[in-house]
Each structure stands twice: as C-alpha cells, then as structure tokens.
Amino acid sequence: MRTALIWAQEERIIERALKIERPPKPAPKERYLTRTEIDQLLSVEMAPHIRVAIILMLTTAGRVGAILDLTWTRVDFERGQINLRIDEIGPRKGRAVVPMNSMLRAALQDTRQAALSESVVEWAGGRVQSIRTGFNAALEAAGLKDVSPHVLRHTAAVDMAAAGVPISKISQYLGHSNTAITERVYARFAPDHMIEAAAVLEFGGPRKVR
C-alpha cells in the first residue's frame, strides 16, 4: 500500500501520500531440526516423492517452491550441481546453484531411474503441486511437531553456521541478495560468533590487548 501511494503521488493522481509505518521485522525463526530429529524423519515410511523432496530441502537449503519446480534439465550429475533457478533470468530470490553432496546424489540417482516426467519431484508421472499431506504424514510418523518445509531450509543454514561455514558462503547457498540478511539470522549459530568480543570481557587478571 505504501508503495502504491508513493507511486500515485509521483504520478500526481493524489496530492500527497499518507505516511504508513512499516511493521517491525519478525524475530528470527528458532525452530530447526537436530541431527537426531532428521534421522527420525528419514527413518519413517513415506512416499518416494516426499522423501526426495525432504532430502532436497535439507541438502540444498531450497524453498519448497524451488524444489517442486526443479526439473532434470537442471540436475547436473557430471558437475555435481543443482540449479534451483528456472532460467538465467529468474526467479533468483532464495534460489541458487548449489553443490550436490553424496547423500543427495544417491537419492537423485534412484529417483532418476524411476522418473516418468521431467519433474524431479513427481507423482503419477506429473509435477507435484503440494507435498503438504505427505509431508505432514511423515512428520506425524516421526513424532515431530511445529515443522514446516521452511524449517528444513532453516535447518540446513543453521547446520552450516554451526559447522563454521563462512556467512558469505551460507548467503550464496540460500540465494540471499545481501549477506546482512544471512548474518542477522544465522551468525549467532556460528561457533566463533563474537568470541573475540567475549575475550575482551575477561576480568580479574591481565587483560589481553591485540
């Protein structure tokens, strides 16, 4: 609405745009899966297309929409890459070209052998529009609560940060346009986050000065 009013003012459709305060940014998401919870989820029975979708989200940090859009033409087994972008133009928000790890390669090779269409995540020979029903059934079987597909993307980023992967690389993996976005949400999970600042606050002994 704010953008529309500013445009209307610039086009002289209205004399003056009303000032609209933007709502505060939401707090960073806290829910992510532990390694134990991931093992629980992957151990339950589920449809093959749900399993490969879950593995894709965990290993590429892709949004569910990007995963459902993925076609075999953008799966490069030779280079070991997954291109989550539909084409060179876009969409690019939250989509990146990411490496294919061994877990994902094995899952995709099995899926490719049984493929009936160009969609990587397929059902009855066609593109899947939603994985909500199968995804929720898998969560229930695994005994997991408060987990959405986006939590898997968040889990991937948290795991990378906790392992010491630089924020700049995590940002590229997530397809963020600005590393500040990544840092705001994920820097706190890094093992060395603010460790130098904490070292300055050593009291009761000689102070270390760099």
The answer to whether the beta carbons of residues 6 and 17 sit under 8 Å apart is yes
CATH superfamily of 35-196: Intergrase catalytic core (1.10.443.10)
At 137-169, the pLDDT tens digits run: 999 999 999 999 999 999 999 999 999 999 999
At 184-202, the pLDDT tens digits run: 999 999 988 888 888 888 8
- Return d(Cα 177, Cα 189) in angstroms, integer: 20
Largest Cα separation within the chain, whole Å, is 70
Q: What is the pLDDT of residue 28?
A: 54
The answer to whether the beta carbons of residues 175 and 96 sit under 8 Å apart is yes
Report pTM.
0.81
Domain ranges (residues) in the chain:
35-196
Share of the chain above pLDDT 90, in %: 70
